[in-house]
Structure 1
Amino acid sequence: MRIYSGMRGERGQSMAEYAVILALAALAAVAGLSALGQAHSVRTASTLLAVSEAMK
């Protein structure tokens, strides 16, 4: 039974490592999408300003 409990500990450790990797990947995805969203917002605002100036 000792071998089985040792394998069980490794499985738990592997799951914890996957959870950490998943959390880091999710954090990177959120940060990347946030940066892209801000860049898109600035581009849209400048386009709307240009259109507004052209209509005057």
Structure 2
Amino acid sequence: MAEVFGLDAYAPKQIAARVSELGVGKAKLPLLTLSLLGVLAALLYWVINLRTDGSRP
């Protein structure tokens, strides 16, 4: 892998392969773990997008 400005540079095919591997790995997680990830994602969405006074960003 080539280093470009201190970051790893990947070809589009390599990026697609990595994303696919991560997606398959996440899909194979146990139901409880996957459910907790979903809850955490919903909470993160709520924290970022909803304010305590009900206004939206």
Normalised TM-score (structure 2): 0.38
Task: Answer 1 or 2: which has greater strand percent.
Answer: 2
The structure showing larger relative contact order (alpha-carbon pairs under 8 Å, at least 6 residues apart) is 2
Task: Answer 1 or 2: which has greater helix percent.
Answer: 1
Q: Which has the larger radius of gyration?
A: 1
